[in-house]
Structure 1
Amino acid sequence: MDDLLRVGVISSTHGLKGEVKVFPTTDDATRFKSLKNVTMDTGSGHMNLEIQGVKFFKNMVILKFKEFDSINEVEKYKGKDLLIERDQAVALGPDENFIFELIGLRVVLEDGTEFGTLTDVIKTGANDVYEVKTKEGKEVLLPAIKQCVLGVDLEEGTVTVHIMDGLLD
């Protein structure tokens, strides 16, 4: 499943003709317009679905799949993940990474000292925040800004950080 990326979660049905409301887990919900297919994780396997229609309502995406024509056919898939192949993912810019690639990386200080492990990425309005569990077991929040996060090396499995004054107080 490493080659599949989650782009949304079915939250509920919409109407009677088999449409579903999807909570997007991608930074850009409009990307659903360019998707032709998605894979649904049914819990017991994967189901390939062809997207027939895309609409937007508030913070949700409303999808119509070719495979479903009634509310009764889609009701049982509430809460299921919608996935895409990694090669369908949007191109990342420089200094951008998928969150799943960051979770579990070792966090080291700029002098190479081991600091902890990146356990989560919290999305905020201004910038992401990295949740780090230190070697001592404390949880520390570090802003994902250039002054604090100096570099990410996926091959080495490290995030190099500079601890700014006041962050550990």
Structure 2
Amino acid sequence: MTKWFNVGKIVNTHGLGGEVRVISKTDFAEERYKKGNILYLFLNDHTPIQLTVKTHRTHKNFDLLTFEGYNNINEVEPWKNGILKISEEQLTSLDEGEFYFHEIVGCKVFSTDGEEIGIVKEILTPGANDVWVVKGGNGKEYLIPYIDDVVKSVNVKDKSITIELMEGLLS
């Protein structure tokens, strides 16, 4: 059975030429949306539709895409709320110290003293570095910057992360 990974969600059309507005769920947008790349569109319970990226550009906080063979708003209008995915076979290997979001989300976070902080629930990409949203056992959320001074080790096999508790990090 094929394992699928979310790349983005189609939230609207853009113009009349078959362009769609996508909210990305990938940290590799430039790579995923490159001309000629294959994405799969999942709509409700229908069979996934294979799409080939024709064009990609960014506009405000969205990625705007067109696909080969779809040149009209009427053809892409039904795709609203559809999810763009890639198959596990399309994942590329990463350099050391780089991780896919799905590898980090769900990991338990511990301090260097062994105290359990919580579980990574989400990853934010505000700019210079990613920020991991960690939900503590007390229900409180902590924002952990993915920087060398804070994140000391990541073990995706054991789903565990060790961080250095800098002053003010958990307040």
Q: TM-score range by the shorter chain?
A: 0.7 to 0.9
Contact 1:39 1:46 in 2 (8 A): no
Are residues 84 and 35 of structure 1, via their aligned partners in 2, closer, same or farther at CA, if it must alter by over 3 Å? farther
What's the counterpart of residue 130 of structure 1? Answer: 132
The amino acid that maps onto 1:160 is T
Segments of 5+ residues of structure 2 without an aligned counterpart are: none
Cα drift, residue 163 of structure 1: 0.6
What's the counterpart of residue 45 of structure 2? Answer: 44
Q: What value does the CA root-mean-square deviation take over the aligned residues?
A: 2.4
Q: Bigger shift: 114-123 or 20-29?
A: 20-29
Q: How many residues are treated as equivalent by the alignment?
A: 168
Cα drift, residue 18 of structure 1: 3.6
What's the counterpart of residue 115 of structure 2? Answer: 113
Q: Secondary structure at the match of 1:104?
A: coil
What's the counterpart of residue 11 of structure 2? Answer: 11
Q: TM-score, normalised by structure 1?
A: 0.83
CA–CA distance in structure 1, aligned partners of residues 58 and 141 of structure 2:
37
Q: TM-score, normalised by structure 2?
A: 0.82
Are residues 121 and 23 of structure 1, via their aligned partners in 2, closer, same or farther at CA, if it must alter by over 3 Å? closer
What's the counterpart of residue 61 of structure 1? Answer: 64
Q: Secondary structure at the match of 1:33?
A: coil
Q: Secondary structure at the match of 2:48?
A: strand
Q: Secondary structure at the match of 1:62?
A: strand
The amino acid that maps onto 1:39 is Y
Are residues 168 and 69 of structure 1, via their aligned partners in 2, closer, same or farther at CA, if it must alter by over 3 Å? closer
Cα shift readout 1:102-159 (whole Å, capped 9, x = no counterpart): 1221111113222221222121112111221222222222211111111111111111
What's the counterpart of residue 156 of structure 1? Answer: 158
Q: Bigger shift: 104-113 or 49-58?
A: 49-58
Q: Secondary structure at the match of 2:76?
A: helix
Segments of 5+ residues of structure 1 without an aligned counterpart are: none
Q: Secondary structure at the match of 2:6?
A: strand
What's the counterpart of residue 146 of structure 2? Answer: 144
